[in-house]
Structure 1
Amino acid sequence: MVKTVIADDNQSKSAEDRLFQHGIPAQVGLVIGQLNRSSDRGFVYDLIPTPPTDGGGPACSLKSEAAGKDDKKKGSKSGKPSAELPASLVVDNDWVAEHARQVSRMLLGGMNVVGIYLWASEATFKATSPAVLSQAIKGVAQAAPFTDNEFEERLLIHVSYSPRRWSCRVCNLASAGLRPCDFKTGKLLASLQAFRCTYNFEIRLPISQAGILGTITFKDLICRGIANLAKDLQSAKAFINGHLVTENVHTSSESPHDVQFLVPFNKHISTEACSSEEVVGLVVFSGAICAFAYLGPREPILQAISDLKSDIVSSLRSRLDIITDEAEEEVALSLDCYGEAGGDSLAEKSIHKLALQEVRKPCTLFFPRRIIVPWYAGIFICDYLQASETFEDVKDHCQEMMSMDGPIETTSVVDPETAQISVATRSFWDVVHKRSSDIVNDSKTNKNTIEREADAGKLERNNLNFLTAILVLLSAFLIGWAVVAFGPTTTAY
């Protein structure tokens, strides 16, 4: 249970100055930080404003109370007309949730979307129903879940300009209740320790006949591979700067720390158990992941190891989601341009949606590469670069989603993943046809072998009979010659 929330003082001051300079009456955005089940403290690293909607409107606005009969009666009893009642907040929950989904992909290990913030006057905030606020927080939690899905607390930070002050509440997702908590500021970002690693993996996933009949899609098989990788990481041993981590201690050496994971041999068998007769194909999921994690002050080192493992798994899932989103956008575009028929033909080309029995040729699906982008001094975020994109696209996306003020230098953007992550499969039909042709070819080969062996036997017997006859004739000739040459001589009288 979170009892105290500590925010970075520099980022809090910067966010407050930005809000006052804009002079807007209301704003909603995301809270970036870290919450742990094992700790009663929460960390807030920054506040990220939600950008305008596709229509150009704000994600949060004010709504004046309607002057109904009930309002008039209340106004007359309190001595205030209904027009003077403070306006309440209206939040575009779907848009804020989508912003949270996009931002969560760009955060490295140890950082999450931990809630929302609201910029409004004290009167407006109190006039807004707690149910409205809880609903917005729930939408963000569903769009950007934690690795620990059972942790059901998120933050609501209210930045008030009348009067000028900050307050923080903890929202319980199960009960939708809001309770106040202590809010402090301190040096956070400067005290974070960075952990990094490059994790190489290769997972072989057999395609069984049962899976084919069950119409498992390509995406389903990739998700299974990611789940298997997550299980492998659970039992992996960590080496930090060449030393095996055996206990939950605090580290004081300078960051970044280099981490290596050692997965026990055969600790977890990724492939399914099936006989050779059932396997009709094979999917190879392989590559190298560049992972990062940040450890807060006075946090144990095992927390960094856990966050680093989570970053590896979440990075793969984010890349799969990006491919899926792009394919769905292409299908939607084709429906708008060419009608339903054009959409169906393009949907068949979306490899992640294909059922395995529809894959006619060997194919390879490449995942987007992870690009490391500087955020603040010594702190990084990430984005994902597809084959059709450039570093300029990454910079524009970071500035839009993370509200980064200054320009991003191309030379500061790092492309660390040299080995590309890919999913390769052999065609189901090629494998099946090859097995059938192998059986036919084997039978033909066996038949030809038997015929050749039979012919060879006949030839060998014929040769033996011929040699026997020659030997008999030669023996008879030699015996006759010996009788004539060495027999008794007859004398005439």
Structure 2
Amino acid sequence: MVKAVVGEETQLKLAEDRLSQSRLPAQVGLVIGKLSSSLDRGFVFDLVPTPPNDAGEAACSLVENVRDDKKKASKGKSQADSSSLVIDNDWVAEHARQVSRMLLGGMKVVGIYIWVNDSSFKNSTIVLCQTVKGVAEAAPLSETDWDERLLIHICYSPRRWTCRNCIVTSNITSSSLRPCDFKMGRVLNSLQTFRCMYNFDLRFPICLESSSNVRTLANILRYGISMHAKELKGARAMIDGNLVVEDEPSTSDGLHEVELLLPFMKDTFAEACSQKEIVGVIIFSGSVCSFAYLNSKEPISQALADIKGDIITSLQSRLDIICDETFEDMGPTVDGGSDASDEIATGKSVPQLALHLLREQCSLSFPRRVFVPWLMGTFICDYLQASETLEVLKDHIVELMSMEAPTDATTILEPEIEAPTVATKSFWDVANLCPAASSSDNPPLKKGDIDATRKESERKSIKSVDFSIVTAAFFLILSILVGMALLVFRAS
């Protein structure tokens, strides 16, 4: 349970000045920070306003509540006192989903903020709780997601900051809001930076449709990444060349290099299918550069958990980006037939291919991860396709993060020289059981081909057994005849 929240004073004061100068009656946005379970505290790094939607409309606005004139006159309330918030929850949630892709380990979308007067805030608690819930669903904190988010209210009449802890449940109500202590201080200066270059080479089986519900490339990859996340949790780590053996706080400043030591484990995903049911293999390989930021009071184990989580989140985000672009450009569904070759060549619709029907090998490059300077030595990230330039990156961060684009391109880090790639191959080619399978003239075996091969082998085996029996019978009869001939000869 988060009992106290500390906000970065420099950034929050800048946000307050920006809001007061805008003279907007209301504004909603995202709270970027970290919730620490070990410290029972929350940390706020920055506030990011939600941009206007595609129609140019603001994400939130004030509307006048319709009330009976007699009640209105008896209470003597002003127009401002009777107004309430209208928020585009779906748009705010989409903003949270895209911003969460840009945050590194130890940085999350931990809630929302609202800039509005006190009376309108009190009239809109249920609306705000629903917005918080939408953000929590769009940008989960972890696999075992926290049920807590922050709701920061910046009131301009009178001017003050308040913070509430919102317990996210299926039936969220205004009673889900609980006050918590809030103060401003130095947060970003105390963060320690951890970096890891993680090399991976994963292989996921392509099973027959009858033996598995995982059919498309996207589904197989998504399931495989989740399985690898479980293996990655058990990885030991070396920090700055020293094996981490105790859960102790990190006291040294500067950049810490992390190396993950993955244990030897059985491939549980491959064991789910027998050899006869596997018709192909997906090879997913490459390198992921990961960063994590740790508060000086948190243990080293938290930094390692953030690094591991960031690696998996990065792989999932790249897959989501490819799938999003696929749905935008998608024409007829590819079924692996003769029309699939054009789709494979262009890369479109590849994530939706039914791989157990595909007769051709295909490959797909994932976006590269690049890092942009953010606040006080920290970074955020974005993903670039092979055809995209840094200009696309600059436009993206200006729109989503409401920040100025970097003027010096040398400050943008591009440690991933080559993007991670996905390639599909027939099982027999990978296992090297059929050398001819590597030729483009020999497509991967399908279920019918396997069955036909097995039947032919059985037929040949039966013929071989029949021939052996006939041969043995012939020599037996010949031996009997020869023996009888010898007896007759001796008797005569």
The alpha carbon displacement at 1:161 in A equals: 1.2
Q: Larger C-alpha radius of gyration, 1 or 2?
A: 1
Paired position in structure 2 for 1:99? 95
Q: Aligned partner of 2:74: which letter? A: K
Contact 1:233-1:309 within 8 A present in 2 as well? yes
Moved more, 106-115 or 203-212: 203-212
Contact 2:374-2:380 within 8 A present in 1 as well? yes
Distance, in Å, in 2 between the alignment partners of 1:214 and 1:309 is: 28
Relative distance call for 1:138 and 1:91 in structure 2 (3 A) is same
Distance, in Å, in 2 between the alignment partners of 1:24 and 1:60 is: 11
Matched, 1:217 2:231: no
Contact 2:217-2:350 within 8 A present in 1 as well? yes
Normalising by structure 1, what TM-score? 0.82
Distance, in Å, in 1 between the alignment partners of 2:273 and 2:85 is: 58
Contact 1:155-1:170 within 8 A present in 2 as well? yes
Matched, 1:415 2:411: no
Distance, in Å, in 2 between the alignment partners of 1:44 and 1:357 is: 47
State which of 55, 72, 75 in structure 2 corresponds to 1:75. Answer: 72
Distance, in Å, in 2 between the alignment partners of 1:361 and 1:111 is: 41
Percent of residue pairs identical: 51
Deviations 1:64-92 (A, max 9, x none): 112x43xx121232244x75643111111
Local SS of the residue matching 2:254 = coil
Distance, in Å, in 1 between the alignment partners of 2:243 and 2:298 is: 18
State which of 123, 127, 142 in structure 1 corresponds to 2:137. Answer: 142
The alpha carbon displacement at 1:25 in A equals: 1.1
Contact 1:289-1:417 within 8 A present in 2 as well? yes
Paired position in structure 2 for 1:121? 117
Distance, in Å, in 2 between the alignment partners of 1:51 and 1:150 is: 26
Distance, in Å, in 2 between the alignment partners of 1:112 and 1:84 is: 34
Q: Aligned partner of 2:141: which letter? A: F
Contact 1:4-1:41 within 8 A present in 2 as well? yes
Local SS of the residue matching 2:374 = strand
Contact 1:282-1:426 within 8 A present in 2 as well? yes
Local SS of the residue matching 2:444 = helix
How many residues align? The count is 433
Relative distance call for 1:392 and 1:23 in structure 2 (3 A) is same
Local SS of the residue matching 2:82 = coil
Mapping 1:220-369, distance limit 5 Å: 220-266=219-265, 269-331=268-330, 349-369=348-368
Distance, in Å, in 1 between the alignment partners of 2:405 and 2:319 is: 30
Paired position in structure 1 for 2:163? 168
Distance, in Å, in 1 between the alignment partners of 2:74 and 2:167 is: 36
Relative distance call for 1:188 and 1:211 in structure 2 (3 A) is farther
Contact 1:52-1:59 within 8 A present in 2 as well? yes
Distance, in Å, in 1 between the alignment partners of 2:269 and 2:88 is: 42
Paired position in structure 2 for 1:430? 444
Paired position in structure 2 for 1:191? 190
Normalising by structure 2, what TM-score? 0.82
Deviations 1:123-154 (A, max 9, x none): 221222x2111000000000001114341000
Distance, in Å, in 2 between the alignment partners of 1:275 and 1:357 is: 15
Q: Aligned partner of 1:62: which letter? A: L
Paired position in structure 1 for 2:434? none
Aligned-residue CA RMSD (Å): 2.8
Relative distance call for 1:314 and 1:408 in structure 2 (3 A) is farther
Local SS of the residue matching 1:289 = strand
Distance, in Å, in 2 between the alignment partners of 1:198 and 1:409 is: 24
Distance, in Å, in 1 between the alignment partners of 2:389 and 2:166 is: 40
Distance, in Å, in 2 between the alignment partners of 1:424 and 1:5 is: 46
Contact 2:365-2:419 within 8 A present in 1 as well? yes
Distance, in Å, in 1 between the alignment partners of 2:80 and 2:58 is: 24
Relative distance call for 1:208 and 1:43 in structure 2 (3 A) is same
Paired position in structure 1 for 2:63? 63
Contact 1:88-1:124 within 8 A present in 2 as well? yes
Distance, in Å, in 1 between the alignment partners of 2:237 and 2:212 is: 41
Contact 2:397-2:405 within 8 A present in 1 as well? no
Paired position in structure 2 for 1:37? 37
Moved more, 113-122 or 201-210: 201-210
Matched, 1:111 2:85: no
Local SS of the residue matching 2:276 = coil
Structure 2 gap segments, 5+ residues each: 333-338, 428-442, 462-492
Contact 1:231-1:268 within 8 A present in 2 as well? no
Contact 1:3-1:41 within 8 A present in 2 as well? yes
Relative distance call for 1:213 and 1:170 in structure 2 (3 A) is closer
